[in-house]
Structure 1
Amino acid sequence: MLKPGDDSYRWSTQQAARIQGYVVAVAYARPEATNGFMPCRRDIHINIAIREGAPQKEQVVVEITPNFEEWAAKQGWDWSATTLRTQLVGHWCEFEGWMYFDLGHAEEAENTTPNNASNWRASAWEIHPVTKFRVIR
Protein backbone atom coordinates (compact mmCIF):
# COMPACT_ATOMS: atom_id res chain seq x y z
CA MET A 1 0.00 0.00 0.00
CA LEU A 2 3.02 2.27 0.32
CA LYS A 3 4.43 1.66 -3.15
CA PRO A 4 4.66 5.11 -4.84
CA GLY A 5 2.64 5.92 -7.92
CA ASP A 6 -1.01 6.26 -8.82
CA ASP A 7 -2.71 3.38 -7.06
CA SER A 8 -6.31 4.25 -7.93
CA TYR A 9 -6.81 0.90 -9.67
CA ARG A 10 -4.02 -1.12 -8.03
CA TRP A 11 -6.44 -3.22 -5.96
CA SER A 12 -10.11 -4.12 -5.90
CA THR A 13 -12.72 -3.72 -3.19
CA GLN A 14 -13.43 -7.43 -3.75
CA GLN A 15 -9.99 -8.30 -2.34
CA ALA A 16 -9.17 -9.22 1.22
CA ALA A 17 -5.78 -8.09 2.47
CA ARG A 18 -3.26 -8.43 5.26
CA ILE A 19 -0.77 -5.71 6.16
CA GLN A 20 1.91 -5.36 8.81
CA GLY A 21 3.25 -2.10 10.11
CA TYR A 22 4.21 0.14 12.98
CA VAL A 23 1.15 1.70 14.62
CA VAL A 24 1.57 5.47 14.78
CA ALA A 25 -1.87 6.57 15.99
CA VAL A 26 -5.37 5.38 16.90
CA ALA A 27 -8.34 7.77 17.02
CA TYR A 28 -12.05 7.95 16.39
CA ALA A 29 -12.96 9.48 13.01
CA ARG A 30 -15.30 12.42 12.79
CA PRO A 31 -19.00 11.53 12.32
CA GLU A 32 -19.58 10.36 8.72
CA ALA A 33 -22.57 9.74 6.44
CA THR A 34 -21.96 5.97 6.40
CA ASN A 35 -22.63 5.91 10.14
CA GLY A 36 -25.57 8.34 10.03
CA PHE A 37 -23.43 11.25 11.27
CA MET A 38 -23.96 9.81 14.75
CA PRO A 39 -21.23 10.81 17.24
CA CYS A 40 -21.68 7.48 19.05
CA ARG A 41 -21.08 5.45 15.83
CA ARG A 42 -17.71 6.46 14.45
CA ASP A 43 -15.03 4.47 12.67
CA ILE A 44 -11.71 4.01 14.42
CA HIS A 45 -8.73 5.13 12.31
CA ILE A 46 -5.45 3.32 12.87
CA ASN A 47 -2.46 4.92 11.12
CA ILE A 48 0.39 2.56 10.29
CA ALA A 49 3.80 3.00 8.66
CA ILE A 50 6.87 0.97 7.83
CA ARG A 51 8.98 2.78 10.41
CA GLU A 52 8.69 4.69 13.64
CA GLY A 53 8.61 8.45 13.09
CA ALA A 54 7.31 8.22 9.51
CA PRO A 55 5.59 11.42 8.34
CA GLN A 56 1.87 11.30 7.56
CA LYS A 57 2.55 11.09 3.81
CA GLU A 58 4.15 7.69 4.50
CA GLN A 59 1.27 6.31 6.56
CA VAL A 60 -1.74 4.24 5.57
CA VAL A 61 -5.06 4.00 7.35
CA VAL A 62 -6.90 0.88 8.45
CA GLU A 63 -10.34 1.24 10.01
CA ILE A 64 -12.49 -0.59 12.49
CA THR A 65 -16.18 0.08 11.91
CA PRO A 66 -18.78 0.46 14.67
CA ASN A 67 -20.31 -2.86 13.59
CA PHE A 68 -17.03 -4.70 14.08
CA GLU A 69 -16.40 -2.89 17.37
CA GLU A 70 -19.83 -4.17 18.53
CA TRP A 71 -19.11 -7.66 17.16
CA ALA A 72 -15.83 -7.77 19.09
CA ALA A 73 -17.60 -6.74 22.30
CA LYS A 74 -19.93 -9.74 21.88
CA GLN A 75 -16.82 -11.93 21.74
CA GLY A 76 -15.58 -10.37 24.98
CA TRP A 77 -12.95 -8.20 23.25
CA ASP A 78 -12.57 -4.46 23.78
CA TRP A 79 -11.94 -2.84 20.38
CA SER A 80 -12.63 0.71 21.60
CA ALA A 81 -10.28 3.45 20.45
CA THR A 82 -9.05 3.99 24.01
CA THR A 83 -8.08 0.35 24.49
CA LEU A 84 -6.62 -0.02 20.99
CA ARG A 85 -4.53 3.12 21.47
CA THR A 86 -3.06 1.64 24.66
CA GLN A 87 -2.46 -1.81 23.14
CA LEU A 88 -1.30 -0.93 19.62
CA VAL A 89 0.46 2.45 19.41
CA GLY A 90 4.22 1.97 19.34
CA HIS A 91 3.97 -1.68 18.33
CA TRP A 92 4.32 -3.65 15.12
CA CYS A 93 0.95 -5.16 14.28
CA GLU A 94 -0.77 -7.15 11.56
CA PHE A 95 -4.24 -6.25 10.26
CA GLU A 96 -6.61 -8.23 8.06
CA GLY A 97 -9.79 -7.14 6.34
CA TRP A 98 -11.19 -5.87 3.06
CA MET A 99 -9.70 -3.34 0.68
CA TYR A 100 -11.59 -0.08 0.25
CA PHE A 101 -10.71 2.92 -1.91
CA ASP A 102 -11.80 5.99 0.06
CA LEU A 103 -12.45 8.37 -2.83
CA GLY A 104 -13.13 11.19 -0.37
CA HIS A 105 -9.45 11.11 0.60
CA ALA A 106 -7.89 10.62 -2.85
CA GLU A 107 -6.98 14.32 -3.06
CA GLU A 108 -5.25 14.08 0.33
CA ALA A 109 -3.13 11.04 -0.53
CA GLU A 110 0.43 11.13 -1.84
CA ASN A 111 -0.11 8.29 -4.34
CA THR A 112 -3.09 9.91 -6.08
CA THR A 113 -2.21 13.61 -5.62
CA PRO A 114 1.60 13.73 -5.34
CA ASN A 115 3.31 16.63 -3.57
CA ASN A 116 0.07 18.22 -2.36
CA ALA A 117 0.97 20.22 0.76
CA SER A 118 -2.24 19.09 2.49
CA ASN A 119 -1.64 15.36 1.99
CA TRP A 120 -1.95 13.47 5.26
CA ARG A 121 -1.73 9.89 4.05
CA ALA A 122 0.16 7.76 1.54
CA SER A 123 -2.83 6.13 -0.15
CA ALA A 124 -6.59 6.48 -0.38
CA TRP A 125 -6.72 2.67 -0.14
CA GLU A 126 -7.55 1.32 3.29
CA ILE A 127 -8.25 -1.96 4.96
CA HIS A 128 -11.83 -1.10 5.89
CA PRO A 129 -13.24 -2.89 7.72
CA VAL A 130 -10.51 -4.51 9.76
CA THR A 131 -11.78 -7.96 10.69
CA LYS A 132 -8.77 -9.27 12.61
CA PHE A 133 -5.54 -7.91 14.07
CA ARG A 134 -2.68 -8.95 16.30
CA VAL A 135 0.37 -7.40 17.93
CA ILE A 136 3.56 -8.84 16.43
CA ARG A 137 6.04 -7.12 18.73
Structure 2
Amino acid sequence: MSRLAIAIAALLWFAPTVDAQQVGVLTHDATLHSGPSSSSAKVGVLQTGDAVTLVGNGHRTGYLRVRTQNEEVGWVYERYVTIVDPTELHAPAPAHTFSAGAPALAAGPGDFDSCPDSGNAKLRNVRALNRLKNRSAQPQDVDIDSSVTLAAMLAPSTNDSGRFGDGKAAEITGYVFRVIPGGHFETTNCEKGDPIHRDTHIELTTSPTDTVEIRRVIVEVTPRWRAAALQDSVEWSTATLQQTLEGHWAKVRGWLMFDSEHKAQSENTRPGGDGNWRATAWEIHPITALTIISQP
Protein backbone atom coordinates (compact mmCIF):
# COMPACT_ATOMS: atom_id res chain seq x y z
CA MET A 1 0.00 0.00 0.00
CA SER A 2 1.33 3.48 -0.84
CA ARG A 3 2.25 6.03 1.81
CA LEU A 4 -0.76 8.05 0.68
CA ALA A 5 -3.14 5.13 1.15
CA ILE A 6 -1.62 4.21 4.49
CA ALA A 7 -2.00 7.77 5.75
CA ILE A 8 -5.66 7.92 4.83
CA ALA A 9 -6.41 4.43 6.07
CA ALA A 10 -4.87 5.36 9.40
CA LEU A 11 -6.98 8.49 9.56
CA LEU A 12 -10.32 7.08 8.48
CA TRP A 13 -10.62 3.32 8.08
CA PHE A 14 -14.26 3.08 7.17
CA ALA A 15 -16.62 5.22 5.14
CA PRO A 16 -17.84 8.20 7.18
CA THR A 17 -21.40 8.91 8.17
CA VAL A 18 -23.11 11.98 6.78
CA ASP A 19 -21.91 14.04 9.74
CA ALA A 20 -18.30 12.88 9.60
CA GLN A 21 -15.55 15.35 8.82
CA GLN A 22 -14.00 15.66 5.39
CA VAL A 23 -10.58 14.19 4.83
CA GLY A 24 -7.79 15.72 2.78
CA VAL A 25 -4.34 14.67 1.68
CA LEU A 26 -1.30 16.91 1.27
CA THR A 27 -0.03 17.04 -2.30
CA HIS A 28 2.96 19.21 -1.36
CA ASP A 29 5.11 19.76 1.72
CA ALA A 30 3.52 22.59 3.68
CA THR A 31 3.74 24.69 6.84
CA LEU A 32 0.92 24.52 9.38
CA HIS A 33 0.15 28.08 10.54
CA SER A 34 -1.74 29.32 13.60
CA GLY A 35 -3.92 31.52 11.37
CA PRO A 36 -5.00 31.85 7.73
CA SER A 37 -1.92 33.80 6.71
CA SER A 38 1.69 33.04 5.84
CA SER A 39 2.69 35.62 8.45
CA SER A 40 0.95 33.66 11.23
CA ALA A 41 3.05 31.66 13.67
CA LYS A 42 4.33 28.28 12.52
CA VAL A 43 2.53 25.43 14.30
CA GLY A 44 4.09 22.48 12.51
CA VAL A 45 5.19 20.96 9.24
CA LEU A 46 3.20 18.66 6.95
CA GLN A 47 4.63 16.35 4.33
CA THR A 48 3.31 15.20 0.99
CA GLY A 49 0.94 12.29 1.61
CA ASP A 50 -0.04 13.32 5.14
CA ALA A 51 -3.76 12.95 5.84
CA VAL A 52 -5.66 15.71 7.63
CA THR A 53 -9.20 16.24 8.87
CA LEU A 54 -10.93 19.47 7.87
CA VAL A 55 -12.21 21.43 10.85
CA GLY A 56 -15.70 22.93 10.64
CA ASN A 57 -16.01 26.60 9.68
CA GLY A 58 -12.37 26.49 8.65
CA HIS A 59 -12.22 27.99 5.17
CA ARG A 60 -10.63 31.35 4.44
CA THR A 61 -9.41 32.71 1.14
CA GLY A 62 -6.60 30.40 0.11
CA TYR A 63 -6.47 28.49 3.43
CA LEU A 64 -8.10 25.51 5.13
CA ARG A 65 -8.22 24.85 8.85
CA VAL A 66 -7.17 21.25 9.50
CA ARG A 67 -6.35 18.79 12.25
CA THR A 68 -3.33 16.56 11.76
CA GLN A 69 -2.85 12.95 12.83
CA ASN A 70 -0.90 14.30 15.82
CA GLU A 71 -3.97 16.35 16.85
CA GLU A 72 -2.33 19.65 15.92
CA VAL A 73 -4.82 22.21 14.59
CA GLY A 74 -3.83 24.97 12.20
CA TRP A 75 -4.15 26.49 8.75
CA VAL A 76 -2.58 25.26 5.52
CA TYR A 77 -2.57 26.45 1.93
CA GLU A 78 -5.75 25.19 0.27
CA ARG A 79 -3.94 24.48 -2.99
CA TYR A 80 -1.78 21.91 -1.21
CA VAL A 81 -4.78 19.85 -0.02
CA THR A 82 -6.82 17.44 -2.12
CA ILE A 83 -10.16 16.32 -0.68
CA VAL A 84 -10.53 12.56 -0.97
CA ASP A 85 -13.25 9.96 -0.64
CA PRO A 86 -11.99 7.53 2.01
CA THR A 87 -14.26 4.79 0.70
CA GLU A 88 -12.01 4.52 -2.34
CA LEU A 89 -9.21 3.42 -0.05
CA HIS A 90 -11.25 1.10 2.12
CA ALA A 91 -9.41 -2.08 2.95
CA PRO A 92 -10.18 -4.86 5.41
CA ALA A 93 -8.38 -4.78 8.71
CA PRO A 94 -5.05 -6.56 8.38
CA ALA A 95 -4.54 -10.04 9.74
CA HIS A 96 -2.97 -9.80 13.17
CA THR A 97 -0.76 -11.84 15.42
CA PHE A 98 -1.37 -9.51 18.34
CA SER A 99 -1.13 -11.18 21.73
CA ALA A 100 -2.17 -8.80 24.44
CA GLY A 101 -3.65 -8.71 27.88
CA ALA A 102 -2.14 -7.59 31.14
CA PRO A 103 1.66 -7.64 31.25
CA ALA A 104 2.85 -10.10 33.87
CA LEU A 105 5.04 -7.34 35.26
CA ALA A 106 3.54 -4.11 36.53
CA ALA A 107 5.13 -0.88 35.39
CA GLY A 108 7.93 0.11 37.72
CA PRO A 109 7.12 2.87 40.23
CA GLY A 110 9.15 6.05 40.50
CA ASP A 111 11.37 7.35 37.73
CA PHE A 112 11.25 5.98 34.19
CA ASP A 113 14.32 6.74 32.10
CA SER A 114 15.17 9.55 34.52
CA CYS A 115 11.66 11.01 34.33
CA PRO A 116 9.69 11.08 37.62
CA ASP A 117 6.02 10.13 37.71
CA SER A 118 5.18 13.84 38.04
CA GLY A 119 7.07 14.58 34.83
CA ASN A 120 8.79 17.93 34.59
CA ALA A 121 5.73 20.14 35.05
CA LYS A 122 6.14 23.30 37.09
CA LEU A 123 2.52 23.79 38.16
CA ARG A 124 1.34 21.73 41.12
CA ASN A 125 -1.97 20.73 39.53
CA VAL A 126 -0.21 19.52 36.38
CA ARG A 127 2.27 17.49 38.44
CA ALA A 128 -0.70 15.85 40.20
CA LEU A 129 -2.34 15.10 36.84
CA ASN A 130 0.90 13.60 35.55
CA ARG A 131 1.09 11.26 38.55
CA LEU A 132 -2.33 9.91 37.59
CA LYS A 133 -1.19 9.38 34.00
CA ASN A 134 1.94 7.59 35.17
CA ARG A 135 0.36 5.19 37.67
CA SER A 136 2.26 1.92 37.77
CA ALA A 137 0.06 -0.44 39.81
CA GLN A 138 -2.18 -3.05 38.20
CA PRO A 139 -5.83 -2.31 39.03
CA GLN A 140 -7.44 -5.16 40.91
CA ASP A 141 -10.99 -6.37 40.36
CA VAL A 142 -12.12 -4.40 43.40
CA ASP A 143 -10.85 -1.22 41.73
CA ILE A 144 -13.06 -1.65 38.65
CA ASP A 145 -16.10 0.63 38.42
CA SER A 146 -18.58 -1.65 36.65
CA SER A 147 -20.84 1.30 35.77
CA VAL A 148 -18.22 2.65 33.36
CA THR A 149 -18.80 1.50 29.79
CA LEU A 150 -18.00 3.13 26.47
CA ALA A 151 -21.64 4.20 26.19
CA ALA A 152 -21.54 5.70 29.68
CA MET A 153 -18.39 7.67 28.88
CA LEU A 154 -19.96 8.96 25.65
CA ALA A 155 -23.21 10.00 27.30
CA PRO A 156 -23.79 13.79 27.42
CA SER A 157 -23.29 15.35 30.83
CA THR A 158 -23.58 18.79 32.38
CA ASN A 159 -21.09 17.81 35.10
CA ASP A 160 -18.68 15.61 33.22
CA SER A 161 -15.77 15.87 35.64
CA GLY A 162 -17.90 14.59 38.53
CA ARG A 163 -19.35 11.52 36.82
CA PHE A 164 -16.59 9.05 37.64
CA GLY A 165 -13.66 8.86 40.03
CA ASP A 166 -9.99 8.95 39.11
CA GLY A 167 -9.26 6.62 42.00
CA LYS A 168 -11.12 3.87 40.18
CA ALA A 169 -10.34 1.74 37.15
CA ALA A 170 -12.52 0.53 34.29
CA GLU A 171 -12.77 -2.13 31.62
CA ILE A 172 -14.52 -1.10 28.43
CA THR A 173 -15.08 -2.56 24.97
CA GLY A 174 -15.06 -0.59 21.73
CA TYR A 175 -14.13 -0.45 18.09
CA VAL A 176 -10.60 0.84 17.48
CA PHE A 177 -11.11 3.65 15.00
CA ARG A 178 -7.60 5.07 15.03
CA VAL A 179 -4.20 4.76 16.74
CA ILE A 180 -1.87 7.77 16.67
CA PRO A 181 1.18 9.04 18.56
CA GLY A 182 0.52 11.15 21.62
CA GLY A 183 1.48 14.80 21.83
CA HIS A 184 4.98 16.04 21.23
CA PHE A 185 6.95 17.10 24.29
CA GLU A 186 4.33 16.50 26.99
CA THR A 187 5.40 17.29 30.55
CA THR A 188 4.12 13.91 31.73
CA ASN A 189 6.98 12.34 29.74
CA CYS A 190 9.48 15.09 30.58
CA GLU A 191 8.99 16.56 27.09
CA LYS A 192 10.79 13.70 25.37
CA GLY A 193 9.58 13.53 21.78
CA ASP A 194 10.93 10.21 20.49
CA PRO A 195 8.46 7.33 19.88
CA ILE A 196 9.59 5.33 22.93
CA HIS A 197 8.82 8.21 25.28
CA ARG A 198 5.52 9.37 23.78
CA ASP A 199 2.08 8.07 24.71
CA THR A 200 -0.05 6.19 22.21
CA HIS A 201 -3.58 7.56 21.68
CA ILE A 202 -6.21 4.94 20.84
CA GLU A 203 -9.60 6.25 19.72
CA LEU A 204 -12.59 4.04 20.55
CA THR A 205 -16.02 4.29 18.94
CA THR A 206 -19.23 2.31 19.29
CA SER A 207 -19.04 0.87 15.76
CA PRO A 208 -17.08 1.06 12.49
CA THR A 209 -19.57 3.59 11.10
CA ASP A 210 -19.77 5.82 14.19
CA THR A 211 -16.89 8.01 13.03
CA VAL A 212 -17.77 11.54 14.18
CA GLU A 213 -14.91 12.99 16.22
CA ILE A 214 -17.10 14.15 19.11
CA ARG A 215 -18.22 10.55 19.66
CA ARG A 216 -14.78 9.15 20.38
CA VAL A 217 -13.20 8.17 23.69
CA ILE A 218 -9.44 8.35 24.10
CA VAL A 219 -7.50 5.62 25.90
CA GLU A 220 -3.73 5.74 26.20
CA VAL A 221 -0.70 3.49 26.43
CA THR A 222 2.11 5.18 28.37
CA PRO A 223 5.85 4.65 27.93
CA ARG A 224 6.06 2.95 31.34
CA TRP A 225 3.43 0.35 30.49
CA ARG A 226 4.82 -0.10 27.00
CA ALA A 227 8.16 -1.03 28.59
CA ALA A 228 6.43 -3.38 31.05
CA ALA A 229 4.59 -5.11 28.21
CA LEU A 230 7.81 -5.52 26.25
CA GLN A 231 9.41 -7.29 29.22
CA ASP A 232 6.55 -9.77 28.90
CA SER A 233 7.22 -10.10 25.14
CA VAL A 234 4.16 -8.02 24.23
CA GLU A 235 4.73 -5.20 21.73
CA TRP A 236 2.80 -2.01 22.49
CA SER A 237 4.69 0.42 20.26
CA THR A 238 2.52 2.92 18.41
CA ALA A 239 3.52 1.46 15.04
CA THR A 240 2.62 -2.09 16.08
CA LEU A 241 -0.70 -1.03 17.60
CA GLN A 242 -1.57 0.84 14.40
CA GLN A 243 -0.98 -2.31 12.38
CA THR A 244 -2.70 -4.72 14.75
CA LEU A 245 -5.48 -2.82 16.52
CA GLU A 246 -7.00 -0.46 13.96
CA GLY A 247 -10.16 -1.91 12.49
CA HIS A 248 -10.65 -4.40 15.32
CA TRP A 249 -12.77 -4.58 18.44
CA ALA A 250 -10.82 -4.43 21.69
CA LYS A 251 -11.27 -4.75 25.42
CA VAL A 252 -9.32 -2.13 27.35
CA ARG A 253 -8.57 -2.13 31.07
CA GLY A 254 -6.82 0.55 33.09
CA TRP A 255 -7.11 3.55 35.38
CA LEU A 256 -9.74 6.25 34.92
CA MET A 257 -8.51 9.81 34.59
CA PHE A 258 -10.19 13.12 33.80
CA ASP A 259 -7.70 14.92 31.58
CA SER A 260 -8.51 18.51 32.46
CA GLU A 261 -5.96 19.71 29.91
CA HIS A 262 -8.45 18.67 27.21
CA LYS A 263 -11.68 20.08 28.64
CA ALA A 264 -11.70 22.75 25.94
CA GLN A 265 -11.62 20.11 23.17
CA SER A 266 -14.33 17.84 24.62
CA GLU A 267 -17.99 17.95 23.62
CA ASN A 268 -19.24 17.23 27.15
CA THR A 269 -17.39 20.17 28.68
CA ARG A 270 -17.50 22.58 25.71
CA PRO A 271 -20.66 21.66 23.78
CA GLY A 272 -20.53 22.69 20.15
CA GLY A 273 -16.93 23.88 20.38
CA ASP A 274 -15.37 24.51 16.98
CA GLY A 275 -12.19 22.68 17.93
CA ASN A 276 -13.76 19.69 19.66
CA TRP A 277 -12.21 16.35 18.66
CA ARG A 278 -13.42 14.05 21.42
CA ALA A 279 -16.57 13.30 23.41
CA THR A 280 -15.19 13.62 26.92
CA ALA A 281 -12.06 14.47 28.85
CA TRP A 282 -12.42 11.15 30.71
CA GLU A 283 -9.88 8.58 29.56
CA ILE A 284 -8.49 5.22 30.50
CA HIS A 285 -4.95 6.38 31.11
CA PRO A 286 -2.82 4.39 31.59
CA ILE A 287 -3.99 1.24 29.83
CA THR A 288 -2.83 -1.80 31.79
CA ALA A 289 -4.42 -4.56 29.67
CA LEU A 290 -5.44 -4.66 26.04
CA THR A 291 -7.08 -7.53 24.16
CA ILE A 292 -8.47 -7.93 20.65
CA ILE A 293 -11.92 -9.52 20.74
CA SER A 294 -14.64 -10.59 18.34
CA GLN A 295 -17.37 -8.10 17.57
CA PRO A 296 -19.68 -8.07 20.60
Superposition TM-score, scaled by structure 2 size? 0.46
Q: How does 1:86-125 map to 2 (within 5 A)?
A: 86-125=243-282
Q: How does 1:44-55 map to 2 (within 5 A)?
A: 44-53=200-209, 54-55=211-212
Which whole-Å CA distance do the structure 1 matches of 2:171 and 2:154 have between them?
13
Identity of aligned residues (%): 40
Amino acid of the structure 1 residue aligned with 2:259:
D
Q: Classify the secondary structure of the residue corresponding to 2:235.
A: coil
Q: 2:190 matched to 1:33?
A: no
Q: In the TM superposition, what is the alpha-carbon distance from 1:27 to its structure 2 partner?
A: 1.2
Which whole-Å CA distance do the structure 2 matches of 1:5 and 1:51 have between them?
21
The count of residues paired between Structure 1 and Structure 2 equals 137
Q: 2:210 matched to 1:65?
A: no
Map of 2:156 onto structure 1: 4
Q: In the TM superposition, what is the alpha-carbon distance from 1:5 to its structure 2 partner?
A: 1.5
Which whole-Å CA distance do the structure 2 matches of 1:48 and 1:97 have between them?
14
Q: CA RMSD in A?
A: 0.8
Q: In the TM superposition, what is the alpha-carbon distance from 1:136 to its structure 2 partner?
A: 0.9
Tell me which protein shows more strand as a share of its residues: 1
Runs of 4+ in 1 over 3 A off after TM superposition: none
Q: Which runs of 5+ in 2 are unaligned?
A: 1-152
Q: Classify the secondary structure of the residue corresponding to 1:111.
A: coil
Q: 2:178 matched to 1:22?
A: no
Amino acid of the structure 2 residue aligned with 1:14:
G
- Structure of higher CA gyration radius: 2
Q: Which runs of 5+ in 1 are unaligned?
A: none
Map of 1:79 onto structure 2: 236
- Bigger relative CO (Cα 8 Å, ≥ 6 apart): 1
2:283 to 121, 126, 132: 126
Which whole-Å CA distance do the structure 1 matches of 2:266 and 2:286 have between them?
19
Q: Which string of whole-angstrom CA distances, capped at 9 and with x for unpartnered residues, describes residues 34-85 of structure 1?
A: 1000012111100011021321100000000000000001001110011111
Q: Which string of whole-angstrom CA distances, capped at 9 and with x for unpartnered residues, describes residues 4-27 of structure 1?
A: 113111011101101111101111
